[in-house]
Chain A
Amino acid sequence: MVATLRSLFARRFKEVPAVQDVSFDIDEGEIVGFLGPNGAGKTTTLKMLSGLLYPTSGEVRVLGHTPWKREQGLLSTITLVMGNRSQLLWDIPAADSLRVLQEIFQLSEHTYRASLDELTDLLELEPLLHKPVRNLSLGERMKVEFAAALIHQPRVLFLDEPTIGLDVTMQARIRRFVSDYNRRTGASILLTSHYMDDVVALCKRVIVIHHGRLLYDGALTGLAERMAPHKLIRVTLSHEADLASYGEVVSHEENTTTLKVSREEAADRTAQLVHDLHGQMLDLTLEDPAIEEVIDRVFSEAQVALAAGV
């Protein structure tokens, strides 16, 4: 009983740093992906960048402003889109909510029309704008959300899991839109996502965050190189064969074998295989390991490192 009462008044907290020693710079026009498992700190980072959170120490500057001060000058040039979350009024058509946004952002009729036309074009909004938002499907709603988020032509976009819950076609559509938008307007985009496909399709640069620490900041392709020191050779022969001598057999299906070899030896082994088996070889590809695998490995290794107190 006493414990119950006490829990009302004194919540016992454990201080867990959400984000520690994370530093980076992002140039105009970049699309950067934040990768990390749940609770890694990527959403926290995004919120600090957009001004929704105050960092306990350190400095954040976006377009020359300090985000958490939420100055007018900054707010009219940034936008936040959260997947599966609606910021539009539910019961009225999106077109009417957009009008409200026009006033809030003080867009001239000309600017507003131009912006709306472009977005309608890119997102195929025509049939959706005049239906009450609650009558739209999830995918349609996401499109309309994007329109509302971009009507003021922001220069910095914060996208938090924008494709979550959408079907595959819609995800591809949104990805295409984001990349088009970046190309057309040169806006900088910061994206967090669970879906590797989002990151692979859009981001040349990724920042990996785990347990609040920055594990990697660089090109996506470099990630595989740095983190997974092996490559995969997939060989399809005209008949069964045991290729264990060429490398570690990862999988074997009918006549197709996947071998894992270290990066340094990849070229040599490939050459060897061609030399030895070219008569029976139907297909041969040299691949980087799947990005998911790389990420998984990165995280589990990081976990081990952390546990070891590195």
Chain B
Amino acid sequence: MQFALEYRANLALDLFEELIIVISSLVAVLILYDHTSAINGWTEGQMIELLGVYYLVQGAQAVVFETSFERFMEHVRMGTLDFILIKPVDSQFMISTRHVQVPQFGQIAMGVLVLAIGIAQVGGGFGVLDALAFAATLVCGLLLVYSLLLVLSTLSFWFVRVENLLAIFWSFLDAGRFPVDVYPGWLRVTLSTVVPIGIAVTVPAQAIAGRLELAGVVAMIGGTIIMCWFASWFWRRGLRSYTGASA
């Protein structure tokens, strides 16, 4: 009983911390807009929407990572991967729900909340097409991030310690809090390709803000399909080399 209380107390504290973080980021945006009415064409409400999408994506990324990739890399490190591979499940989707941490869902929830605040701020609502574009590009963005994580995890087959690469990825995540077009050339490119957090957040935010052209949606979907295919191929190659080697 004491343990359960302790656990719930910790949970409450984690969520509270999460709340503080999100609020301070919101305050940051508000302070920025104290001095200007638009940044690169983004109004305050639209920027808040973007912030919401940012936390949504961040939370989703964390959930995905912890349910699939973290375990996988641990198995590789401990040499217990073989047990997993003989199970009749597609190895690429070694999904487990055991390691899900509630704070990540809290982050997603807060992302949705901030998004709602942004939408309210913008006023005028959004059209059905915008909503569809938003959903489609959001899913694409998450798939892009998933693909990147998959590629990084695949590298574990050859280099057991991939944590450093992951750390690089995570430090870039912070840049997703602002639209990718505010960044100088080289950073913008990086955030749109190698570390796709930039477009994973910016494009859906553009969609919900009604700033996305159809061409943009198509490009996003197209790029995502290519990326997913590549990641999957890379994974299978890695798997082949691993199982081949240990035979």
Direct contact of A and B (CB under 8 A): yes
Q: Does B8 count as interface, using CB distance less than 8 angstroms?
A: yes
- B residues within 8 A CB of A4? 5, 8-9, 12
Q: Does B6 count as interface, using CB distance less than 8 angstroms?
A: yes
Q: Does A8 count as interface, using CB distance less than 8 angstroms?
A: yes
- A residues within 8 A CB of B218? none
Q: Does B135 count as interface, using CB distance less than 8 angstroms?
A: no
What separation, in Å, do the CA atoms of A8 and B14 have in the docked complex? 13
Chain B 162-176 interface mask (CB, 8 Å, partner A; 1/0): 000000000000000
Q: Whole-angstrom distance from the CB of A1 to the nearest CB of chain B?
A: 8
Q: Does A305 count as interface, using CB distance less than 8 angstroms?
A: no
Closest chain B residue to A5, Cβ basis? B12
- B residues within 8 A CB of A104? none
Q: Does B160 count as interface, using CB distance less than 8 angstroms?
A: no
What separation, in Å, do the CA atoms of A7 and B13 have in the docked complex? 12
Closest chain B residue to A9, Cβ basis? B9
What separation, in Å, do the CA atoms of A278 and B21 have in the docked complex? 88
Total contacting residues, chain A, CB less than 8 A: 5
What separation, in Å, do the CA atoms of A5 and B10 have in the docked complex? 10
What separation, in Å, do the CA atoms of A243 and B6 have in the docked complex? 60
What separation, in Å, do the CA atoms of A3 and B9 have in the docked complex? 9
What separation, in Å, do the CA atoms of A7 and B3 have in the docked complex? 11
What separation, in Å, do the CA atoms of A41 and B218 have in the docked complex? 72
What separation, in Å, do the CA atoms of A4 and B8 have in the docked complex? 7
Q: Whole-angstrom distance from the CB of B17 to the nearest CB of chain A?
A: 13
Give A5-35 interface residues, CB cut-off 8 Å to B.
5, 7-8
Q: Whole-angstrom distance from the CB of A9 to the nearest CB of chain B?
A: 10
Closest chain A residue to B12, Cβ basis? A4
- A residues within 8 A CB of B5? 3-4, 7
Closest chain B residue to A4, Cβ basis? B8
What separation, in Å, do the CA atoms of A150 and B92 have in the docked complex? 56
Q: Whole-angstrom distance from the CB of B10 to the nearest CB of chain A?
A: 9
What separation, in Å, do the CA atoms of A5 and B12 have in the docked complex? 8
What separation, in Å, do the CA atoms of A8 and B15 have in the docked complex? 14
- B residues within 8 A CB of A3? 5
Q: Whole-angstrom distance from the CB of B177 to the nearest CB of chain A?
A: 30
- A residues within 8 A CB of B12? 4-5, 8
- A residues within 8 A CB of B6? 7
Closest chain A residue to B5, Cβ basis? A7
Q: Whole-angstrom distance from the CB of A13 to the nearest CB of chain B?
A: 13
Chain B 1-30 interface mask (CB, 8 Å, partner A; 1/0): 000011011001100000000000000000
Q: Which residues of B contact A (CB under 8 A)?
A: 5-6, 8-9, 12-13
A–B complex contacts, Cβ < 8 Å, 9 sampled? A3-B5, A4-B5, A4-B8, A4-B9, A5-B9, A5-B12, A7-B9, A8-B9, A8-B12
Given contacts A4-B8, A8-B13, 11 further A-B contacts (CB under 8 A): A3-B5, A4-B5, A4-B9, A4-B12, A5-B9, A5-B12, A7-B5, A7-B6, A7-B9, A8-B9, A8-B12
The 5 A-B pairs at the shortest CB distance, nearest first, are namely A4-B8, A7-B5, A8-B9, A7-B9, A4-B9
